Chains A and B, each alone.
Chain A
Amino acid sequence: MSTAVLAPPPPARATIPRTFAAMMAREARVMRKNFLSTFIRVLVQPVMFVFVFAYVLPKLGGGATAGGPGGPTFSTILVPGLVGSSIIMQAMMAVIFPLMMELTWQKSITDRALAPVPVPLLAVQKIIAAATQGLIGGLLVFPAVLLIHAEGQAPKVHVDDWPILILVMVAGALMSAAGGLLLGTLLNPQKVQVMFAMVLLPMTMLGCVYYPWSALDHIRWLQILSLLNPLVYISEGLRSALTPAIPHMPAWAFLLAIVGGTILLTWAATRTFTKRVLT
């Protein structure tokens, strides 16, 4: 090592949009590196699920198929549900896991916090990056849930309303990422395992993934309680867009919940994140 003279850096224009774009480029680089491991993890659960319920059980002649003769196949019910749960799971994990590392271990969040953008914008950047991963997760599940099934068990999918489909997927992913950021900044890292067991698992099991919300008419208390679960609105929104023949919530209801939830959770998560980073 010598005391050789360091040349001045090339001219730079550090505007906030440029910095923001560079941070997104960093996310893209990391996602590309980890693509296989990340998305295999996302795919295993839905693939296993459709394999067992849309292929193995119908082959066995079991009674797990919904509706009986003439009714919708179980696979038709599952398409929107599994896409929705993949979006929410992937978006939340994509924000929570890195955040836990950054906030605790070596406090490496300072690396990004020293980039020349306001700290709340850093929170928004994390939400958008994680939502993108959630969307990719959701899109990757489509072929699996559409193609894996026994003969005669094909899901009946027809995109009735593209704008609703896109809006539900994009806003749903943003809402999930914002919720993830909120949880990640509120919880201490030792509780993350507990959170997965206590929050994410019940949320996916009871998120109207495996049945439409209207079918809960028979269990009224669960139907009402389910309204607290954000995944319900994503599942029902996708159901309305993809499988309109299945009974689903009215558009105003799920749009209000998803768009309102996105705004509310983004606002709250931005505040809690800023508090964690600036002391």
Chain B
Amino acid sequence: MTEPPGAAVRTVDLKKTYPASGPRPAVPAVQGIDLDVPRGEFFGLLGPNGAGKSTTIGMLTTLVVPTGGSAQVCGLDVVKDAVEIKRRIGVVSQNNSLDSDLTVAENLEFRGRYFGLGARDARRRAAELLELFGLTEQRGGSPFEISGGQAKRVMICRALMHGPEVLFLDEPTAGLDPQTRANLWEVLRGLQASGQTIVLTTHYMEEAEALCDRVAVVDHGRILASGTVDQLKSSAGADTVITVSYDAAAPQEIKRLGDRDGISKVEVNDGQVRVFATEPDGILGELVDLGSTAGVGVTDASQLRPSLETVFLSLTGREYRD
């Protein structure tokens, strides 16, 4: 495979607004996203459902037309050079988009032939991939008679038939059981080790942490932060987060904690208090004591260690929900 220069993915102020339709107002799904993914990287778009991740992947894979900004994949424009981009990418969609009129093996064979492989080469390549992914037994079956995890692996095989320069995966493990997910992670790590550029979307924090070289945290169609997982964790506010809920309004004195060394931020919201700390020892106990001094009880308390979860919390003020 020749490796032309340039980033695998580059977007500048990329936007997509779906037009209004009937009673539904226009939806600004993506509101200006800048991405720069070098070749060979495992890049993750992390965000809750509805954050605009799939729309972004849709634009990068030429099936969603941007309404603003620009996007390039392998140095090619997603609107002007759509056909050439399609030759160079592999896509694993969120749904089972396998061709239901064909068997598992035929799905791979014909995908290979769509991408210019001869019939015999396509058959041989399909057999190799199925073997490698442990799917040889399923080769003659219908794509809808196999399990969800198997279907996902078949879709990955299918996307790899023509040796894509960039592999896009939209929520590859959504809805899979933990064991199957772990298997799939192994597959993806193997691909990365072989030098495959991968762009993945996920709403699972632990998936982004486990797999990605770099992560962009997306919410409401915008990138909140991006970098390596470690960079994100050590960035501002990415501390241990201590959350305490009181059964009445929180004591006023708590706000003063924000002046102390080792505490970077205190948020008070009625009965709920959130302390972002770099030195968390003892703070939880202190919050409980302050409550009982003021005559309010504690109904809930938690302490989160630094993770993408705390990053998201600190960036949005909202708890991350899968």
Contacts and interface: CB of A to CB of B under 8 A. Distances in A.
Interface of A: 1-10, 12-16, 18-19, 22-23, 25-26, 29-30, 33-34, 98, 101, 106-108, 110-111, 113-118, 277-279
Nearest first, the 8 closest Cβ-Cβ pairs linking A and B are: A3-B190, A14-B116, A12-B116, A22-B113, A115-B114, A9-B163, A10-B121, A106-B95
Interface of B: 1, 18, 58, 61, 63-65, 82-84, 86-87, 91, 93, 95-102, 106, 110-119, 121, 124-125, 128-129, 132-134, 160-163, 183, 186-187, 189-191, 193-194
Contact of B101 (A30, A114, A278): A30
Given A19-B115, A22-B110, A108-B99, 19 more contacts: A1-B133, A2-B132, A6-B191, A8-B1, A10-B117, A10-B118, A10-B121, A10-B124, A10-B125, A12-B112, A19-B116, A33-B101, A108-B97, A111-B98, A115-B86, A115-B115, A116-B114, A117-B83, A279-B64
B63 A110 contact: yes
Given A1-B187, A111-B97, A12 B133 contact: no
A10 to B, nearest CB: 4
Contact of B96 (A25, A106, A277, A278): A106
Contacts of A15: 116
A30 B109 CA distance: 13
B320 to A, nearest CB: 27
A116 B128 contact: no
Given A3-B190, A6-B132, A8-B163, A13 B102 contact: no
23 contacts: A2-B190, A3-B186, A3-B190, A4-B190, A6-B132, A9-B161, A12-B117, A12-B121, A15-B116, A22-B114, A26-B110, A33-B101, A108-B95, A108-B97, A110-B91, A110-B93, A115-B86, A115-B114, A116-B84, A118-B83, A278-B64, A279-B63, A279-B64
Contacts of B98: 108, 111
A145 to B, nearest CB: 30
B87 A279 contact: no
Nearest to B188: A3
Contacts of A5: 194
